[in-house]
Amino acid sequence: MTLTPKRAQDSMIQMTELVLPNDTNTFGNLMGGRLMYWMDIAAALATMKHCSAPVVTASVDNISFETPIKLGNVVHIEAKVSRAFSTSMEVHLRVWGEDPVQQYRYKSNEAFMTFVALDPNGKSRLVPQIIPDTEEEKQLYEGAMRRRQLRLILSGKMKPQDAEELRALFI
């Protein structure tokens, strides 16, 4: 069965949250765990929008928190599917903080997450392929195969000798 491919842009989700006291650590900054929770939801919504099916988080690539987001600031999360494989989809996420009074926006972090679409029996199901349009979407699409191989090797789901694009790093 071949599903009609869909444009990357059409999967985009933009989420906005206000950092409240219950979201912060003792330094008055947004807690990493709360941010990851919001990122997980934004990424799940982007993948569900792309494949029109329920999804589960399969993996989260490393996340580096570059700039803390302060209490009372706004969090902006943008999530977009960068590539779809057979049943899994890689999502690219970008996070910014914003001081709503000074109206100043700053980049907080970037990440990749992978989601798998499930059928009503909880089995993985095929998803539509992605059509990248912009230069950035094309670059993310090209890099997605290498990132997929790396995360599958690290999770023990792929042997380094089967990773065509990354073999040289491991063997």
Ligand X SMILES: CC(C)(COP(=O)(O)OP(=O)(O)OC[C@H]1O[C@@H](n2cnc3c(N)ncnc32)[C@H](O)[C@@H]1OP(=O)(O)O)[C@@H](O)C(=O)NCCC(=O)NCCS
Tokens (6 digits) for 108: 């907080």
29 is an interface residue for ligand X by CB under 6 A: no
Nearer to ligand X, 70 or 167 (CB): 167
Near ligand X by CB under 6 A: residue from 9, 48, 54, 59: 59
Nearer to ligand X, 21 or 156 (CB): 156
In this structure, the dihedral spanned by the alpha carbons of residues 68, 73, 74 and 76, taken in order and rounded to 10 degrees, is -20
Nearer to ligand X, 18 or 56 (CB): 56
Near ligand X by CB under 6 A: residue from 157, 159, 160, 162: 157
Nearer to ligand X, 6 or 151 (CB): 151
The Cα 10–Cα 82 span in angstroms is 11
Near ligand X by CB under 6 A: residue from 73, 87, 109, 149: 87
Number of H helices, E strands in the chain: 3, 7
129 is an interface residue for ligand X by CB under 6 A: no
54 is an interface residue for ligand X by CB under 6 A: no
Task: Specify whether the CB–CB gap between 94 and 77 falls below 8 A.
Answer: yes
Classify residue 27 as exposed, middle or buried by CB count within 10 Å of its CB (0-12, 13-18, 19+).
exposed
47 is an interface residue for ligand X by CB under 6 A: no
Near ligand X by CB under 6 A: residue from 52, 155, 159, 169: 155
- Cβ neighbours, 10 Å, residue 61: 15
Name the minimum Å distance from CB 123 to ligand X: 8
The Cα 117–Cα 87 span in angstroms is 6
By three-state DSSP, how is residue 122 classified? coil
82 is an interface residue for ligand X by CB under 6 A: no
The Cα 135–Cα 144 span in angstroms is 14
Count of residues engaged in binding ligand X, rule: CB under 6 A: 15
Interface contacts to ligand X, rule CB under 6 A: 56-59, 85-88, 114, 116, 124, 151-152, 155, 157
